[in-house]
Amino acid sequence: MFKTIVVGLLVFLAIMDTKAEGEVKDSLPGYLQHYDIESVDVVVTKLKQYQVGSKKETFTPLQKSSVEQGSLTELISRYQPIYIKTDAGGLASFRFRGTSDNHTSVRVRGIELNSQTLGSYNANNAPVFLFDQVQISFGSSSATLGSGSIGGNVRLELQNKFKNGVNGEGKVSLGSFGEYMAGAKVFASNGRLESVTRLVYYEKENDFPFENTAYYNFETRSYDRDKQKNARIENANLIQQLNYKWDDNRMLSSVIWLTKNRHEAQPNMAENTNPNTRYIEDQNIRTWIQYDQNSHIGNFYLGGGYVFDDNIDYSSKEQKITTQRWITEGGLKKEKDWLSMQLGLRYLFIKPDVYAYDESISEYRTSLYASLLATPIDWLKLSLNLRQQFVSRFNAPFTPALGLEMRLINKNNQTLNLFGNIQRAYRIPTLNDRYWGQDGYEGNRNIKPEDALSAELGLGYLFSDNETWTFRLNTNVFYMNVHDWLLWTQGSSGWYADNVMRVISKGLETTIRAYCDLGRQQIEIGGGFTFNPAVRKESDLITDIIDQQLEYVPKYIATGYIQYTFSRAGIILDGNYTGRRYYNQAGKYLSAYQLINCSAFYQFNLGNNLLRFDAQVNNLLSEQYQNQYQYAMPEINYRVAINYKF
Amino acid sequence: MKMKKYLVLFLALPFLLASCEKEENETPEAKITGHYVLNYGSYSSSVGSLSYIDLENSTVQNEIYKAVNGVDMSGKPQYAYEYQGDIYFMGNAVDEIYFVEASSLEQTSNGVSTDIIKPRFCVGEGNYLYISCWGGDVWGDTSLGYIAKYNVTTNEVEKTIDMPGGPEGLVIANGTLFCALNYDTKIGMIDLETEEVSFIEGVPGVSSYFLKDDEGNLFVSIPDTYSISATTAGLGYINTTTKTLEATYELSSITSNYSSIMSFNKDKSKIYVVGGSYDSFYNYSGGIYVFDTELKSFESEPLLTGVSGINGVYFNKQTELVYVMVSQSTTANGLLSFYNTNGELQEEFSTGIAPSWILDVE
């Protein structure tokens, strides 16, 4: 079946007119287009074109700048109704739409950042300052992105400016509990050749006070105040981009990202008395180079990358966990009138060196994908994405995806869109799931890929009076049915990986933004809400509770913000509510919590340059809460920052 | 005069003790009205807990410690031991020993952490609990282990005695503390009078727990572990008089779990042992294997097979039912299943997470 479709698409490509066409134009009125989501990364823009009908979100400049001192975790959990399970800055994992941490892929250009051994990405290791924009896609996208993208996808975007001269910015920030951040970005270009250097150093002692609820004092009959120990964080990141543009039709872009992220594994409340420190260090080399050319044949792209991931646990340093990856991807995109097509091939070779694997293994993964985007009438956009992956010693499923965007109302000052998609998604089990072999922990070579069917349907409303007010409302429902959900299960001689569950996650998501431009003053109010029942529907484990909300999936989560800028000053007040979360199936849950934060800035013009001061109060009401069971979180804390743009 | 009185008392002592022993044998066993189930919990999703199984009413009350004390149990309890009216817990999150009054389950004092590092198991003698402690990351340094001598009247560790090799299960026999070593192929011994340490060498694997028979000799579990492969996994038999390992009985699938993995039946003619293996599809199938102590061999057919997540076994000597503890995941409650000696399921209770030991309530 797949073969027939691919051959058909190839034939269709061949007989299409060879004249290069521009992008399929959106019929959105001009001033509304400015308010729609924009990618700043040209490579990302090309890739996401075929992801039609899925919910996507990004961040306003003020939102991004308010947490540039922090990590991706802080940015997303503050401004999007997405739950991220985290401790106080060391380790964080995404929980998109009720899925687990290895169901969300995080990407930069053509590189997936997720660990090939664990499957997940630590969102605390991505400093917000390093990137120009962050784009979030909700729901499955395996057909366009491959294995793992079941719950969502996060793209960290890097801009190529090609602006003549040298410009950039520097930032220094100080915060509570020994927090210090320094970063710089320098763009240098002569219009053809561009160098972009990005550098961030971050450290935090993380020795905040908290009430230790794990240790009840039977003599005083109370919980004692405690101080977090052994939770220091120290991250260093360097990105170097080198780009060359022959003309508007030919470009070479490259990126190398070096990281050394070291944190002490935060002890939970019960273990806070333990004097031992466990350092975890992630060292990564990530490179990607891509050539893009528009010609009469079409838009051709060819990329290649190398990734080296080294995870060092200082409590057992000799136990090596490293993986190397070589990636190649190429494809051809062709546009003709109302049709756009893409054919591509991605090859990945993985070579792990992990102390607990019982043999020297390597793995290749080849993906063949095809995409079709049709705009037969200016108010209708349809997409079809097909992907077949081939994995050594493993059968990956064929993944089709069908997307739809329909403009129901298209008046001068308002639009109403209907969007939706239905697709199959999957996740290849991680290398650990299959090959780990250690006392009490056994991988399973016979496990199957997780296999999901997901669908969503939503409405997007946009209104603008063309002068003062802009209003945007997106609301959608989603449904996801994941078979063969993989878990590590306890047997009599320890733990082993197996496909044990079927999970259904469904819900409602709403985001709203209202923007008012009064000349020197601007006001924006926005927020998001997620209602997400996610339950086990079937399980091979007789002790599992069917139809109970999954652990670490809040049924309710909401965010809200109001930002006000006046001339050179601005203030943003934001809050988020995270509903109660079960942390086991024994009926135990973590209480809901609300966090309120406030950020303000004032900036001066120094000739053509800009000097900006920022101040922040986080957790304004000093809420005592746990995001993760028995892991302390900081109460009220402060930050100040100075930023210079030239 | 005073000396003479002591001399008479000293000479009479063996007769007094013999008389006590006879009386004890004649005293009918107290009726077991219920059980406490110690649930280890899990590292990431729960502290430990105590469940109460009311046998007379066939009911279960989970979180009974919390119901009494108002707070969760401290630490991940590795083992619980009733001694002199108190129940002692070996806490493994915060390394500590803490105790509750056995009759009320009320905890009135904080746990003891001084000189307690990774406590595993304990056994009582006189005013002392002998507590096996790994002493740290024993998998990296096997020399760290020791036995803590804990005074139950002062609630202090009076002394530590080095016991390298990952000390685990303990038993006292013939005036000697026998110590299973989970990271060495020896059995440790401490003469309780002189506190001298010696070893039984040449054990065909690591060891984990003991059962004492009516002769005062010991059956010891010898599992195959990732760290040390056993040349013969199964049960060993130790003569406590000669202090030698007299025999080994192979059960290659004997579990390496840290829980109640074996239990005598009422007349100690059988030992129920937890074991299991992976099938060709990599699914783990656990079961209960039966060792005949008279024939000195395992029965050809296990009592139970295909029990996923089997974690422990216990034999109720009054009802003659075999209890099987099941723990399939770190986030879900466990199960306590009662089987008759033909392997037929009689009753089932939901416990806390990871049920691992049982204490009788009489």
Tens digits of residue pLDDT in A489-529 = 766 556 778 888 899 999 999 999 999 999 899 999 999 99
Taking residue A140's Cβ as centre, other Cβ atoms within 10 Å add up to: 34
Min Cα separation B290/chain A (Å): 16
List the domains of chain B with CATH numbers: 74-250 (2.130.10.10)
Contacts of residue A551 in chain B, CB cutoff 8 Å? 45, 331
**Considering all CA atoms of chain B, what is the largest pairwise distance in Å, rounded to the nearest integer?**
79
CB contact under 8 A, A440 and B71: no
Minimal CA separation from B47 to chain A, in Å: 9
Query: What would the mean pLDDT of B144-152 be, rounded to a whole number?
Result: 97
Residue A636: predicted pLDDT:
98
Q: How far apart are CA A446 and CA B280, in angstroms?
A: 9
Chain B neighbors of A442, CB-CB under 8 A: 278, 282
| Cβ contact, residue pair B311, A492, below 8 Å | yes
Cα-to-chain-centroid distance, residue A86: 14
Question: Measured between beta carbons, which residues in chain A are less than 8 angstroms from residue B332?
Answer: 541, 543-545, 584-586
Closest CA to B305 of B355, B339, B354: B339
Q: Reduced to 3 states, what is the DSSP secondary structure of residue A282?
A: strand
Query: What's the CA gap between A624 and A122, in Å, rounded?
Result: 24
pLDDT of residue A96: 93
Q: Do A543 and B329 touch (CB under 8 A)?
A: yes
At B279-317, the pLDDT tens digits run 555 555 689 999 999 999 999 999 999 888 889 999 999
- Per-residue pLDDT band for B163 (boundaries 50, 70, 90) equals very high
> How is the beta sheet containing B355-361 ordered, strand by strand?
B59-61, B49-54, B34-39, B355-361
- pLDDT tens, A324-360? 999 999 999 998 889 999 999 999 999 999 988 877 8
The nearest CA of chain B is from the CA of A348 a distance in Å of 28
The string of pLDDT tens digits covering residues A352-398 is 999 888 778 899 999 999 999 999 998 999 999 999 999 988 888 99
Question: B interface mutation test: which of A487, A493, A541 has the most B CBs within 10 A?
Answer: A493
Does pLDDT of A403 surpass 90?
yes
Q: What are phi and psi of B144, to 5 degrees?
A: -75, -20
DSSP A505: E
- pLDDT digits 0-9 by tens, A28-77: 444 444 444 455 665 555 556 788 998 999 998 889 999 999 999 999 99
Residues of chain B contacting residue A217, judged by C-beta atoms under 8 Å apart: 110
CA distance A491 to chain B (A): 4
Residue B75 CB coordination number (10 Å): 26
The CA distance from B308 to the nearest CA of chain A, in Å, is 6
pLDDT-derived band at A262, boundaries 50, 70, 90: very high
The ipTM of this complex is 0.80
Region A241-268: mean pLDDT is 95
Q: What pLDDT does A443 receive?
A: 87
Are residues B53 and B34 in contact, defined by beta-carbon separation less than 8 angstroms? yes
Query: CB A439 to CB B139 under 8 A?
Result: yes
| pLDDT in the model for residue A490 | 65
Per-chain mean pLDDT for chain A: 89
Which residues in chain A have their CB less than 8 angstroms from residue B352's CB? 586
Question: Which H or E run includes B357?
Answer: strand B355-361
Parallel, antiparallel, or unpaired: how do β-strands B86-92 and B77-83 relate? antiparallel
| Interchain contact, A491 vs B284, CB within 8 Å | yes
Give A259's contacts (C-beta < 8 A, 6+ positions apart).
Answer: A125, A235, A236, A237, A238, A282, A283, A284, A286
Helix (H, G, I), strand (E, B) or coil at B317: coil
Question: A629: which chain B residues are within 8 Å (Cβ-Cβ)?
Answer: 44-46
Task: Tell me if A218 and B109 make a contact (CB, 8 A cut-off).
Answer: yes
A434 to chain B, minimum CA–CA distance in Å?
Answer: 11
Tens digit of each residue's pLDDT (9 = 90 or more) over A72-97? 999 999 999 999 999 999 999 999 99
Closest chain A CA to residue B75: A270
Using a CB-CB cut-off of 8 Å, the residues of chain B touching A315 are: 137
- Cross-chain Cβ contact B94/A271 below 8 Å: yes
Residue B277: predicted pLDDT: 63
Record the tokens describing residue B145, joined without a space.
């282990």
Is A279 or B220 the better-scoring residue by pLDDT? B220
Give the closest-approach CA distance of B307 to chain A in angstroms.
9
Give the whole-angstrom CA distance, residue A363 versus residue A346: 14
B278 contacts on A by Cβ (under 8 Å): 442, 496
* Cβ atoms within 10 Å, residue A409: 12
The verdict on a CB contact (< 8 Å) between B286 and A551 is no
Q: Which residues, 6+ apart, have CB-to-CB distance to B101 below 8 Å?
A: B85, B86, B87, B108
**Per-residue tokens: A177:** 């509990």
The pLDDT tens digits for B23-64 are: 444 455 677 889 999 999 886 667 889 999 998 888 999 999
